Amino acid sequence: MNNFCEQILDILKNYVRKYHNNNVRQAAQALGLSEPTLAQWLKGTRSPNLESIGPVLDRIGVSVVLCNTTARDVQLVPVCTDAAGRGLVPEDGCIAIPQLEEFCKRDRNHVYGDVKDWFYLRCDHPVVRTRKNLVAVRITRDELEPEYNAGDILVVDLDDRQPDNACYMLVASPDGVCSIRRVSLQVTRDDTRIAFSENVGKRFPESFSLRKNYGNVWERAVVGKVVAAFACGQRSL
């Protein structure tokens, strides 16, 4: 399997064939989906997002957990299930965090993107202990050097959107494209200017009006705060 969506597609196809004799309408009703949505997923003309696929996997009885591995704080592995499509039970107490592409699209205040891998952290890791709504983002460019390099994985807390001291955050442009940037603010009497910048001085910071570009809704501009960074399996923040 090349990515998570392909694995989900195979699981759905097997489920519809085995339990509903390829009756898409019947399967959609059992999964709490509309028939057109399930049909589009099965044909590959539309991919499920993070918000919609979770309840479907629960109904099918599929859980995504860590395979047997050596004890490490962090490990990047593909989704692992047994021959029957059931999730393998982790032996070393890890939690799976969906890994998104850095430039995924955002819609209706949710982060969407193809989940190509899962990023695993031990349940007793400091990042996990007090946070519940996390995503991992792999850096694919060098504009954030020297803090972050291409290939680094940043963990983002989607419940923490408060910028402080030009911290790094997962932000969304007015057209909904997400990226990792430094965030700084300039508050005026009738507006707030938001500046998104990078480390390398190849381009000027992008500046937007919270009122004009985001309808005065802060959550549309800032998706979450970077709370940890990993390079080559080691914590760097």
CATH of the domain at 95: 2.10.109.10
pLDDT tens across 18-28, in order?
Answer: 888 889 998 88
**End position of a domain, from candidates 35, 60, 85:** 60
User: Could you give the number of structural domains in the chain?
Assistant: 2
- Per-residue tokens: 81: 């299930």
**pLDDT at site 92:** 55
Whether residues 42 and 90 fall in one domain: no
Within-domain flag for 129: yes
Boundary-marking domain end, from 33, 60, 87: 60
Q: Judge if 207 and 95 occupy the same domain.
A: yes
Question: 120 and 23 in one domain?
Answer: no
Same domain, yes or no: 166 and 219: yes
- The reply to whether 229 and 175 lie within a common domain is yes
Q: Could you tell me the residue range of the domain that residue 17 belongs to?
A: 4-60
**Residue 23's pLDDT is what?**
92
Assigned domain for 116 exists? yes
Can you give the pLDDT at residue 167?
A: 80
pLDDT at 58: 67
The reply to whether 34 and 106 lie within a common domain is no
What pLDDT is stored for residue 105 in this prediction? 66
Query: Which ranges of the chain have pLDDT less than 70?
Result: 1-5, 7, 49-51, 58, 61-93, 105-116, 165-166, 199-203, 232-237
Measured CA to CA, the distance from residue 143 to residue 140 in angstroms comes to 9
Q: 45 lies in a domain?
A: yes
Q: For the segment 133-184, what is each residue's pLDDT rounded down to a tens digit?
A: 888 888 887 777 777 778 888 888 888 888 776 688 898 888 888 888 888 8
